[in-house]
Amino acid sequence: ISKKCLCFIFRIEHPAGGYKKLFETCEELNEPISAVVVGVIPAWLSGSLLRLGPGMFEVGAEPFYHLFDGQALMHKFDLKNGHVTYHRKFIKTDAYVRAMTEKRVVITEFGTAAYPDPCKNIFSRFFTYFKGIEVTDNCLVNVYPVGEDFYACTETNYITKVDPDTLETVKRVDLCDYLSINGVTAHPHIESDGTVYNIGNCFGKNMSLAYNIVKIPSTQKDKSDPIAKSEVLVQLPSSERFKPSYVHSFGMTENYFVFVETPVKINLLKFLTAWSIWGTNYMDCFQSNETIGTWFHLATKDPAVYIEHKFRTSAFNLFHHINSYEDDGFIVVDLCTWKGHEFVYNYLYLANLRENWEEVKAAAMRAPQPEVRRYVLPMDVHRVTQGKNLISLQYTTATAVMRSDGTIWLEPEVLFSGPRQAFEFPQINYSKFSGKNYSYAYGLGLNHFIPDRICKLNVKTKETWVWQEQDSYPSEPIFVQTPNSVEEDDGVLLSIVVNPGADQRPGFLLILNARDLTEVARAEVEVIIPVTFHGMYKP
């Protein structure tokens, strides 16, 4: 069903609990399998949809506890001449290989602690503790290109080079070998020439924490590895000296970097001491600062310089930036926010997501509420009178007001809001409109955290469109532009959908017309496909 609507009033319920199948271990495939195509795939659509997510939710008798713990599984739908195949392989990370060898959880994951090997004697167990932190390389979040290569990633210092044709694991790269960084996000920005930008926390001056924006150059003429030429561009300060904020993505316009520092903090002391204590994981090291609110930071790109303006607003969680752009002396920043300072990831334990529908709904009632927001940051804030709205853009109700302490208080324009109905995992026509004034965002609709629809949002008019099908669970929609097209939304959306109750072919690649979310085609396979987070289309 595709419909145009002014809000997501049409709600599907999930009493059968089919969504639980998204969180079940599956087997990798030895070779690609053919899909049954319903409809007609556009002749020009020739390439691969690559996606990452967890595919193994326990090792032997030991379960993983959090949504972001399962071992990384890479998926690929290949489209060629109207035919489609599906393939998937586990990424052979250290975490995976050692877990398979020892048949237990060996490396601590996001919400699951690894314990010392019970077969070792007390002395060797004791020494295992004090070897320091073994950081996971379980790259289950995203995949992106660097030069001619492709890397699967999570949010640590490790990225894993993969072969996009065979899905074989090539090698692990430690970004700490090249950059002063503790980890980077799984959401880099990539320019048309292939230059990669990212952000991560680091140790700044006087051992205090800061954030580094880093750059990996495009393909080198001498064919050398671009990662070897990585550099830190600019350092942004942390609002709390020893507690950096959790950062999942950042914004980039043509001339600026935008970093939103939320009140969800990593307690570094806890993090560093935790590994000498049994049973501590990453989730245990997060804490929310209830008083600090949310800070916006800006830096110029070239030359890369931090801008000292102090932008402040009330507390929210942020995982995904939608887009940012400059307009007439202002920077417009569109975000998928969750209201308040409580960490949304507290609600993403697998036990919560596998509950029956009524329990899932009850948990989401307690959680922070989602809202798509537009913030506008004025660049010229010098000779200003206090208490006056500094935003003169005619098309937005967002405000920015200089306060007596020199901070600029931001209030957003709400672009979409529905109780417990999130517009998340946002995508745009990235190649043409990233960092530019744009109209359309596409997203995955979460119904009490359960993904059950694909949405389109006109950020200028707030119109929405929805694709939804009973007992079907889609993934983040990836936009692919029609060749030589002019209109921003002239293209298709690709999403992996699971209908666990289907008799024969429960998993399919869904192809929608990006204009109105009507179905173009689907390519069905005889396997269930577990949840995926992010990915890319490789032409």
pLDDT (0 to 100) of residue 1: 67
**Residue 248's pLDDT band (boundaries 50, 70, 90)?**
very high
pLDDT (0 to 100) of residue 277: 65
DSSP state string for 447-488 = ETTEEEEEEEEETTT--EEEE--TT-B---PEEEEPTT--ST
Q: CA-to-CA distance for 528 and 251, rounded, in angstroms?
A: 35
Contact present, 523 and 17 (Cβ < 8 Å): no
Contact present, 12 and 467 (Cβ < 8 Å): no
Whether residue 124 has pLDDT greater than 60: no
Domain residue ranges of the chain, discontinuous segments joined by +: 2-538
Whether residue 214 has pLDDT greater than 60: yes
**DSSP H helical ranges for 63-221:** 94-102, 122-129
- Out of 5-9, 47-51, 182-186, 515-519, least confident range: 5-9
- The DSSP secondary-structure symbol of 418 reads B
Of the chain, the percentage scoring pLDDT greater than 90 comes to 88
- The mean pLDDT value for 87-110 works out to 97
pLDDT (0 to 100) of residue 268: 81
Q: Mind listing the pLDDT tens digit for each residue in 304-323?
A: 999 999 999 999 999 999 99
For the CA atoms of 507, 508, 509, 514, the dihedral, rounded to the nearest 10 degrees, stands at -110
pLDDT (0 to 100) of residue 150: 98
Q: Mind listing the pLDDT tens digit for each residue in 435-469?
A: 999 999 999 999 999 999 999 999 999 999 999 99
Known binding residues are 187, 248, 320, 534
Q: CA-to-CA distance for 17 and 538, rounded, in angstroms?
A: 33
Q: Mind listing the pLDDT tens digit for each residue in 48-67?
A: 999 999 999 999 999 999 99
pLDDT (0 to 100) of residue 120: 62
348-377 in b/e burial notation, b at 16+ Cβ within 10 A?
A: bbbebbbeebeebbebbeebbbbbbbbbbb
Contact present, 432 and 478 (Cβ < 8 Å): no
Sheet of 507-513, strands arranged across: 36-39, 519-525, 507-513, 491-498, 478-481
Q: CA-to-CA distance for 116 and 105, rounded, in angstroms?
A: 9
Known binding residues for Fe cation are 187, 248, 320, 534
> Three-class SS of residue 338?
strand
**DSSP H helical ranges for 367-451:** 430-433
- Out of 183-197, 216-230, 278-292, 358-372, least confident range: 278-292
Beta bridge partners of 361: none
Distances (CA, A) of 64 to 6, 200, 240, 270, 411: 40, 26, 32, 22, 39
Of the chain, the percentage scoring pLDDT greater than 70 comes to 94
Q: Mind listing the pLDDT tens digit for each residue in 382-417?
A: 766 789 999 999 999 999 999 999 999 999 999 999
Token readout for 53 is: 């997510």
296-316 in b/e burial notation, b at 16+ Cβ within 10 A?
A: bbbbebeebebbebbbbbebb
Which helix (H) or strand (E) segment is 272 a member of?
Answer: helix 268-274
Token readout for 235 is: 């350092």
pTM for the full predicted model: 0.96
**Residue 6's pLDDT band (boundaries 50, 70, 90)?**
very low
- The mean pLDDT value for 83-92 works out to 98
Q: CA-to-CA distance for 104 and 63, rounded, in angstroms?
A: 9
- The mean pLDDT value for 187-193 works out to 98
pLDDT (0 to 100) of residue 270: 83
Q: Mind listing the pLDDT tens digit for each residue in 258-302?
A: 999 999 999 988 877 766 666 789 999 999 999 999 999 999 999
pLDDT (0 to 100) of residue 123: 58
**How much is the mean pLDDT over the chain?**
94
Distances (CA, A) of 209 to 48, 261, 367, 484: 40, 13, 29, 46
Contact present, 203 and 212 (Cβ < 8 Å): no
